[in-house]
Amino acid sequence: MTDYSPLLSGVPGIAHGFGNKGALLPTPLEPYRSILPEKKQVHGTRIVDIHQPGQQCGEADGFFTREPGIPITVLTADCLPVIFSRKDGRAIAAVHAGWRGLLDGILEQMAQRIGVDDDTANWVASIGPAAGPCCYQFNQELVEQFQQTLPMPAALISPSHRHLDLAAIAVNKLHALGFAAVDHAGSCTICTLNSDPRQPQRFKYTSYRRNSHRRAQDPTHPGIKGRNQYSGIIITG
């Protein structure tokens, strides 16, 4: 079953959702599959304005539109999907924010794009399913780089030894950037089990980290190519 944001569910004139292994593309966006803009996500900070269905975006990790009927999506498999809407539903956006993107300023770039002709105080944001602090373990050098680079409490960044809390980092950034409200939909992509008896898989979400561990143990185990989950939003009115 598709995950939804309570915050975005209250915005008029939009539809949204966060995918999982049972429905890679969120159910409300399925009718628009054939007109998804084309892009190559590269863990960067480039934001593209979407003006037409099926637009060729090149290398980009953030997307913005005021056009009704064009779905804005990002693909993830442990990184943060963050989707945005103006409170009146008249403009939307999405970013793919992994640890590199958070360090390099993908959220700040989106706030800057919104600020060209608007104010982030008119916008809300929702963070979707991603690797959680329960499972997202790194080397201590990277954790310390986050703690030395970002102006927020060290314990918020890393609530336990060598673990990163990407969602908490993003929430802190989004509030600092002036967004009116932020929520978090879904759960940890690495460890959340499937609870839908109609689906055969053990885990609810596709996870790059979990898949890499499986492939290290069994090289014949398939990769995740073509199995990343989409998170997205569309102006319907």
pTM of the model: 0.95
Q: Does the pLDDT value for residue 196 go beyond 90?
A: no
Tokens of 150: 């970002």
Tokens of 234: 């569309």
The answer to whether residue 187 is domain-embedded is: yes
The answer to whether residue 49 is domain-embedded is: yes
Burial class (CB in 10 A: 0-12, 13-18, 19+), 12: exposed
Instruction: For residue 237, give Cα distances in angstroms to 12, 13, 66, 84.
Output: 8, 5, 11, 16
H or E element in which residue 167 lies: helix 166-176
| Spatial separation of the C-alpha atoms in residues 53 and 70, rounded to whole Å | 6
| Spatial separation of the C-alpha atoms in residues 231 and 23, rounded to whole Å | 11
Q: Does the pLDDT value for residue 104 go beyond 90?
A: yes
The answer to whether residue 1 is domain-embedded is: no
Neighbouring CB atoms inside 10 A of 136's CB total: 21
The answer to whether residue 230 is domain-embedded is: yes
**pLDDT at 215 (0 to 100):** 85
Domain of residue 108 covers 6-217+225-235
3-state DSSP assignment of residue 154: helix
The CATH number of residue 38's host domain is 3.60.140.10
205, 103, 14, 76 alpha-carbon torsion, rounded to 10°: -20
Residue 84, φ and ψ in degrees, nearest 5: -130, 150
Question: How do residues 10-41 score in pLDDT, each as one tens digit?
Answer: 999 999 999 999 999 999 999 999 999 999 99
Q: Count of domains in the chain?
A: 1
Question: How do residues 109-145 score in pLDDT, each as one tens digit?
Answer: 999 999 999 999 999 999 999 999 999 998 899 999 9
Computed from CA positions of residues 126, 130, 132, 138, in that sequence, does the dihedral angle turn out positive or negative? Answer: negative
Contact 85/110 with Cβ under 8 angstroms? no
- Encoded amino acid at 49, one letter: D
